[in-house]
Amino acid sequence: MAETSNDPGTGVESAETEPRATGYSWYVLGVLVVVYILNFIDRQIVSILAVDIKADLGLTDADMGFLGGAAFAVFYALFGIPLGRLADNWNRVKLLSIGLALWSTMTALSGFARNQVTLTFARMGVGVGEATASPTAYSLISDYFPKRQKATALAIYSSGLYLGGGVSLFIGASIVEAWNRTWPNGGPMGLVGWHGAFLAVGIPGLLVALWVAALREPARGAMDGVASHSSPHPFREFFRDLSTIVPPFTLFGAAQRGTTALAVNIGFAAAIAAFAWWMIRLTGNFPQWSAVGLGYYAVFSWASTLRARDPATFRLIWGTPAFICTTLGYGLVSLAAYALAFWSPPYAELVLKLPKQELAFILGANGALAGFVGVILGGRIADALRARNPAGRILTIIFGVVAPIIPIWIGYTTESSFIFYAMNFLAGMFGAAALGAAAATTQELVLPRMRGTATAAFFLGTTLVGLSFGPYMVGQISDLAGTMVNGKPVGDLRTGILSLIGVAPIALALLIYAYRTVPQAEATIAERAASAAA
């Protein structure tokens, strides 16, 4: 492989000496795209199956919101940090192959679920397995592609998100209808259509895991001309990271910092447990609030460890209101986005009485295109605004809060399928425009060495606020606003979805505060980091 060198006059790598992506590099990228497509198929397919699962298992809308949200999100978020570190220190191909095999197995096992408990544990397993995907893929791509092609390669990889999310609805609907048509009274072992859908998308992932295992592990840092060696004790580091965020390992981590740290950790755990118990009494939903309590306790434990190990990073993330308000403000944008993505198919099927395959195809294509266009245009506009105004990117996030309100209201009050599909597209596109602006803002509020940790904190916030609460909130309000029909509860999904508009004022207040404080926070990064480390 050619070595890199810099032109001393320009500081730019010579085109003749810069490493090049080979045909094998593009082959690996293709495999990773397939993995990411499977990742989102297995993650999103529960949405199109929601009506069937709810009827078969006797669940409420709140129960389905939990299965589509916190059951997956909490464990995906918690294991993301230690598994990301393991990807830095161990064989990435092996880790990705194991992770893919795990989430595919858990998806397939969902096809044998007979009650909410077994389906919940399967969704948790999917979350843990999928937490391996992007850390390993991003790292592999960085070592297979030179800097000048890295953005292109990452963009191609990211297309799997939209492709997987889009085709999951159509695949799920097609399998359910074909299965139920073939076995109207239940198939082998009494399995029905939604069981078959989970099996059909889970089992192929096991074969793809073998395909991934055959890939070559590239040398770390080779494309950057910098030798990088893995840790000689990768699993020691992994379990050390588990103690920072994954209960009950967090108690051991706190104990290592002293009795005071352990007492504070236990005290916070008790407070969270009391809050979760109160919410369980109020809503009757044990799984949701147990998972949320676990997630927020884990975040507190991680932040406490960060404060002890790296006071400067803690100060610039947790001690910076601009960072917190940006993350929480965008978290509420993602709350609405996740809720719409999960509930729009059941709404179209139950309220508008649209055919499952039709709505799956159109909503899937809608979501893929709206997300892609929104992210690209939003990022370009945010960068243009930032060039004129230090807080300009916040305006794009505010747009992502305000702009979807009218499309949501029109789309979920109309009886016209055409208007529903059109408004759903606009709401998705407008909401997606905020992602790049929010991510870029948080990256510029920390020092370069802290960006990986800042990314973890940002996605923890958006996952534990957005995905954990969005689908559940709609389901819970739907149940509260619903009625009893023939002795069975029937939710009011229209009211549940329209309630999402209520989070806009909270998000707007957070983002206005961020808009006012971001310039000062950016200007004092080095000073505040130095004072915290002193």
Give the residue carrying structure tokens 């030798």.
Answer: 227
**String of DSSP letters for 309-340:** H-HHHHHHHTT-HHHHHHHHHHHHHHHHHHHH
Give the three-state DSSP class for 14: coil
Query: Does the reported pTM lie above 0.75?
Result: yes
CA distance 164 to 44: 8
Measure the CA–CA gap between 69 and 63, rounded to whole angstroms: 10
Angle ∠(214,44,172) on CA atoms, nearest 5: 90
d(CA 227, CA 221): 5
pLDDT tens track, the chain, 534 positions: 334 444 444 444 444 566 788 899 999 999 999 999 999 999 999 999 999 999 999 999 999 999 999 999 999 999 988 888 888 888 999 999 999 999 999 999 999 999 999 999 999 999 999 999 988 888 888 888 887 777 678 778 887 888 898 899 999 999 999 999 999 888 898 899 999 999 999 999 999 999 999 999 988 777 766 665 666 788 888 888 888 898 989 999 999 999 999 999 999 999 999 999 999 999 999 999 999 999 999 999 999 999 998 999 999 999 999 999 999 999 999 999 999 999 999 999 999 999 999 999 999 999 989 988 998 899 889 999 999 999 999 999 999 999 999 999 999 999 999 999 999 999 999 999 999 899 999 989 998 888 878 888 998 989 999 999 999 999 999 999 988 777 677 789 999 999 999 999 999 999 999 999 999 999 999 999 999 877
Give residue for tokens 């009950």: 248
Whether domain 21-217 has CATH 3.40.640.10: no
CA distances from 479 to 65, 226, 361, 465 (A): 11, 57, 27, 21
Of 471, 421, 532, residue with least CA distance to 123: 471
Find the angle CA(318)-CA(324)-CA(330) to the nearest 5 degrees.
145
d(CA 302, CA 80): 12
Instruction: Give, as one character, the DSSP assignment of residue 185.
Output: T
Q: Residue 319 and residue 301: Cα distance in Å, rounded?
A: 16
What is the C-alpha to C-alpha distance for residues 491 and 377, in angstroms, rounded to an integer?
36
Radius of gyration of the chain (CA): 23
Q: Which of 89, 129, 140 is nearest to 106 (CA)?
A: 129
Right CATH for 310-534 from 3.20.20.70, 1.20.1250.20, 1.10.150.120, 3.40.50.410: 1.20.1250.20
